């Protein structure tokens, strides 16, 4: 075990991490079927590219960013094999290059809830740098009601409101199903709009 987060995440991708099941989260599928997340999309903390590739296969132009080189290699391979409009960068979502943007929307499955709570403001600020006014961020996390004995941080509505207080409006906060390799847990989907 290492203290360096990037190395820790990279080591997780030596095998099959528990969040990686190759299937898009049902909450994302519902959003896409409802016509959301259109245009140029950022997948923040994209991992092995499951969600980025799902979106690209449905006509979106996607950029995935992840701190793990191994995850990004896997994501690139999948996109290449499927001939998808998805590109991937090794990078820190807390310090996104503004030149990566502008995006129409950002999707985050499991990054916000994995961050140390003290990093949340920096993350919201970094996302704001690549999403112009009107852009939306969709943040999918373990909900407060998720079992507390394993996994990442639980995310309450108040956590989202606090982190995205500056430069964002919370459009929606709803409970959804969050699939993991082991079991389904209560998830929280936050929809945020840049102002
Ligand atoms: C729980 S995994 C979710 C991966 C992917 N979104 C999915 O749903 O399969 C969290 C991901 O966030 C990445 N990550 C953690 N901290 C990060 C940071 N500061 N910047 C970019 N990616 C980060 C990890 O490498 C990991 O791939």
pLDDT reading at 90 higher than 90: yes
C-alpha span between 87 and 59 (Å, rounded): 14
Q: Is 19 in the pocket of ligand 1 (CB under 6 A)?
A: yes
Q: Is 46 in the pocket of ligand 1 (CB under 6 A)?
A: yes
In this structure, are residues 135 and 114 in contact, taking their beta carbons and an 8 Å threshold? no
> How far does residue 43's CA lie from ligand 1's centre (Å)?
10
The strand order across the sheet containing 86-90 reads: 86-90, 61-66, 40-44, 105-109, 136-142, 184-194, 168-179
Residue 7 inside a domain? The answer is: no
Geometric angle at alpha carbon 156, from 118 and 173, rounded to 5°: 120
pLDDT reading at 1 higher than 60: no
Residue 91 inside a domain? The answer is: yes
Residue 32 inside a domain? The answer is: yes
> How far does residue 49's CA lie from ligand 1's centre (Å)?
10
CATH code for the domain of 40:
3.40.50.150
Write down the pLDDT at residue 3.
73
Residue 8 inside a domain? The answer is: no
Say how many domains are in the chain: 1
Q: Give me the half-sphere count of Cα atoms (radius 13 Å) on the Cβ side of residue 156.
A: 5
Q: DSSP secondary-structure letter at 39?
A: S
Residue 34 inside a domain? The answer is: yes
Range(s) of the domain holding residue 124: 21-194
C-alpha span between 57 and 34 (Å, rounded): 16
Q: Is 6 in the pocket of ligand 1 (CB under 6 A)?
A: no
Residue 107 inside a domain? The answer is: yes
Residue 6 inside a domain? The answer is: no
Pocket test for ligand 1, best of 67, 78, 124 (most atoms within 8 A of CB): 67
Residue 101 pLDDT grade (very low, low, confident, very high; cuts 50, 70, 90): very high
Average pLDDT rounded to a whole number, residues 133-150: 93
| Percent of the chain's residues with pLDDT above 70 | 99
Residue 3 inside a domain? The answer is: no
**What pTM, to 2 d.p., does this model score?**
0.97
């Amino acid at each position: 075990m290492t203290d360096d987060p990037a190395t820790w995440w990279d080591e997780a991708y030596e095998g099959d991490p528990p969040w990686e099941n190759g299937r898009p989260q049902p909450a994302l599928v519902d959003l896409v079927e409802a016509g959301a997340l259109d245009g140029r999309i950022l997948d923040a903390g994209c991992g092995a590219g499951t969600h980025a590739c799902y979106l690209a296969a449905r006509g979106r132009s996607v950029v995935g960013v992840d701190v793990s080189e191994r995850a990004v290699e896997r994501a690139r391979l999948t996109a290449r094999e499927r001939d998808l409009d998805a590109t991937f960068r090794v990078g820190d979502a807390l310090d996104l290059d503004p030149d990566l943007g502008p995006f129409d929307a950002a999707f985050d499955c499991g990054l916000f809830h994995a961050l140390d709570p003290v990093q949340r403001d920096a993350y919201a600020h970094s996302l704001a740098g690549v999403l112009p006014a009107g852009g939306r961020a969709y943040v999918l996390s373990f909900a407060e009601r998720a079992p507390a004995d394993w996994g990442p941080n639980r995310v309450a509505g108040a956590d989202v409101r606090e982190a995205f207080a500056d430069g964002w409006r919370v459009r929606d906060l709803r409970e959804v199903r969050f699939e993991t390799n082991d079991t389904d847990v209560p998830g929280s989907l936050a929809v945020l709009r840049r102002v």
